[in-house]
A and B are shown apart, each in its own frame.
Chain A
Amino acid sequence: MDVKTVNILLVEDDEIDAEGVRRAFKKHKIANPIYHAQDGVEALEILRGENGKEKIPEPKLLLVDINMPRMNGIELLQEIRKDDKLNKCIAFILTTSKSEEDKYKAYDLNVAGYLIKSNVGHNFIEMIKMLDHYWTVVEFP
């Protein structure tokens, strides 16, 4: 593959959910580098390389939870879309919220997909497979 490895920024406040994503990637032998931010504020720091954080290299893909402390997923996306340097980011929502309102807000902010953390025991399998396909097929900005 001549495509550059996609860097993943996982924005997730729940340690176990983050661990779950990491383990799922590992399980499927996906070795893409995963950056982890606890919330929207930290995610912005990583995206911009501020506050002593290592800046995430291109190409990058965001997996964003919605309910988070300090800055939630929707607010983070609003910030990103306002930022000239970041506004072309590809972002997926990865959440437990089935709220229609959240879904509309997210798509208003041009998310690539709205993924709902499935029930216990599914371990993101389908989702991981989809993401793996996505970045091998899709051209990144």
Chain B
Amino acid sequence: MAQVLSQAPTSVDTEAGWRTIWRQLRRSPMGLAGLCMLAVVLFMAIFAPWVAPYDPYAPVRARIDTIYAPPSAEHPLGTDDGGKDVLSAFIFGARVSLIVGFVASAITVLIGGLVGIVAGYYGGRVGGALMGVTNIFLVIPDLPLYVVLVSLLGPSIWNIILAIILLSWTGTARLVYAQVLSIRERQFVTRARAIGASSGYIIRKHILPLVLPIILAQNALVISIAILSESGLAFLGLGDPSLISWGTMLNFAFGRGAVSVGAWWALLPPGLGIVWVVLGWTLLGYVIEDIVNPRARTHHLM
């Protein structure tokens, strides 16, 4: 008993941390499924040059019988309009989708979270001005502006990311803002002020942990949206022409007669790839939200 007591209060000053999240995640089949789905894609993307049977960036050398050739032992997912291996393109395409998803969502959530927290915590004129800007961005229709921005800036992957960031931080900002407004008025924040805590401390210790579930869930959602947006833009022909992405694969297949020749193998893999990654992120985001919010945990029922 004495030993148990002396061990118990070790975390008085430390935070729950990632270890707890991992321990909880391991017990959730849904979270593990999401994690595995993402791990497969991540592995595929990182080790693309070793995993892929062919180099999809090699110069095109197509013959009439190699265009849209159905799946065979040589090409497990057939070939595309350029007579290239679809599987290899699919594997390399995951890189673009993941990079766009990660980078765009990370920056989006960072900006949105920051704007939301600052506007919500400080309120007054600063908050009003920030939320005013947010509202202006919120009413801009997404797709037309994407198209305009990317065509103006030039179709590169970074411009696509920029366009996605520019248009998707507002959702996070508004959500976080609303949450911070309500947390700010809660008594434990008042108490922290009464005890002499600085604004920075209050935000870090009391406000951030409570908006983090929202930010994380939002992050998963924004990754999905970013990947979908990139694919959509690429499908419309605004993708980075020098890079193979799932979107450009769809664009080429769609624009170059894959549908009319019935070459399903050129359309399905990139389409399913997008669904796979988006689903993986959604599952993982959902479970993480559950873990980070301790009130939703079940052990208090015991």
B partners with A: no
Instruction: Show the binding face of B for A, using Cβ within 8 Å.
Output: none
Interfacial residues, chain A to chain B (CB-CB below 8 A): none
